[in-house]
Amino acid sequence: MKTKLFVAVLLLVLLLPGLALAAGKKNKGETPKSETVAEYQPDGRYAGIYKWERLYILSSRTKTWFASKAPKVWGTLPCQSARVALREKGHFLGNLSDDGRCLGDAEAPQWASGNYLNFMTTGKLKD
């Protein structure tokens, strides 16, 4: 009887801190329901250092955004899937030729509009 009681108390002592810790971590990392995350509004113009109509490419080596040498402006791309994605979401994953035509998906870089990068940087619409 004493052995069973001792084992029960020992288990209780060992398990309670773990249960309390698990309960405390349950909501960690989740966005509280009272906080709302801003959503990208493609029709708005965001304030920032990037030119809203320019096309930018992410360097996979340095993880830095650079203005695309060619094509320069995303709104005139012949590649319809890229143009639509950039207009609606602000970013596109795919290969583009120097004149903006769609190419294959192999080792596709990430592209973004300047407006989307301003949104990601500041999140503030221009007045």
Q: Is the peptide bond before 17 cis (omega within 30 degrees of 0)?
A: no
Give the per-residue pLDDT at 2: 66
Mean pLDDT throughout 63-82? 94
Q: Is the dihedral of CA 100, 105, 108, 110 positive or negative?
A: positive
Q: State the Cα–Cα distance between residues 51 and 98, nearest whole angstrom.
A: 19
Least confident of 23-27, 66-70, 88-92, 96-100: 23-27
Distance, in Å, from the CA atom of 113 to the CA atom of 124, rounded to the nearest integer, reads 15
CB 92 within 8 A of CB 108: no
C-alpha to C-alpha distance for 31 and 37, rounded to whole angstroms: 8
Which whole-number Å values give the CA distances from 36 to 29, 32, 42, in the listed order?
Answer: 14, 8, 18
Question: Quick one: average pLDDT of 14-31?
Answer: 44
Residue of 119, 121, 111, 117 lying closest to 44 (CA atoms) = 119
How much of the chain, in percent, has pLDDT values that exceed 90? 62
Task: Quote the percentage of the chain above a pLDDT of 70.
Answer: 71
Question: Domain coordinates of the chain in residue numbers?
Answer: 55-121
pTM listed for this prediction: 0.68
Evaluate if residue 116 carries a pLDDT over 90.
Answer: yes
